Amino acid sequence: MKQGAHISDSTSVHFGDLKQELAALSTQNCMMDLSSFGLLSISGPDAKSFLQGQITCNIDELTQKKSLLGAHCNLKGRMQSLFSIAVHPDNQNYSHFLLCIPTSMLTITQNNFKKFAIFSKVEIKVADDMVGIGLVGLEAPHLIANIKQNISVYHKEGAIPRYELFGPMEEMKQLWLQWKTVCMPISTQASELLDIRAGLPMVYPATIDEILPHHANLSILEGISYNKGCYLGQEIIARMQYRGKLKKHMYRVFVQDKSKPKIGSAVLGSTLTTNEAPGIVVRASESDQDGYELLIILDDLYQNFENVRLYSADGPKVLRLDLPYSW
């Protein structure tokens, strides 16, 4: 997707405040401009076998109506990127795939895949001819039922039906104008908060090579396959699953601070006796409760959150919130 390309640019959208937008989700269908995300296209005769040997999820489980969460890891099993993957609408014999990823990660992820594609018949490029719309609401499944086949649809986890759709700019503009009569436009900030409340992790430039998939709850979110064969980092990931006991998990938390916490910021616990921070911020968004909601990865030693703080031992206190799943 072209950076800065907004479907809503020419539609005179005026967003309300975050509290109004979140309140609207319980009473009506909503849609949002997904200009902060883009697509990486991986195509060619070897596309399926190439991806199967690179990423954590199982390509065989993809269908035209089902996307998967997956990660590309280094040899030590730490995530270099995290994405939703789907088959391209024009897919022929599983030879074309689309990875939905933050725009800040597109070029980085493209280059990381290319390092391993020298001997494979694949083309790896940014799909900058496609833009995205997010759709949320009880009628969302009905609204997408009759869309054109050249639009890629990703199902998102959450208490309310959620989808992300990507397609050519002109066709997506037409969908935006069509749905505007039955959907309330909400901000990308509200969309980010929905992802956090659904417990969906993400990798950004500040957290590349920092996070193991298990610690981001990827096993719980069905983003790791343990029976498809070898892929980058697979040995470490499998060993943790079958031989080790996980000591870290991802938590949803609330914090009051003067500004939005940065991705990659340290999280500290009260019993810490070394200089090493036992936690890290994974995602962050403004909350409708006059503060910020975060996804953090934290050593389970501190899971009671008696005195967990952001940045330093005297930083803002972090309060635990519920996730929609458990481990």
SS3 assignment, position 59 = helix
- What's the pLDDT score for residue 312? 87
- What's the pLDDT score for residue 8? 59
- What's the pLDDT score for residue 313? 83
pLDDT digits (tens, 9 = 90+) for 184-230: 998 888 889 989 999 999 999 999 999 999 999 999 999 999 999 89
CA distance 247 to 50: 32
- What's the pLDDT score for residue 17? 81
- What's the pLDDT score for residue 23? 81
* 71 in Cβ contact with 82 (< 8 Å): yes
What's the half-sphere exposure (Cβ side, CA atoms, 13 Å) at 9? 9
Task: Flag residues of the chain having pLDDT under 70.
Answer: 1-16, 244, 271-277
- What's the pLDDT score for residue 151? 87
- What's the pLDDT score for residue 25? 78
Closest CA to 289 of 19, 8, 31: 19
Is this structure's pTM higher than 0.85?
Answer: yes
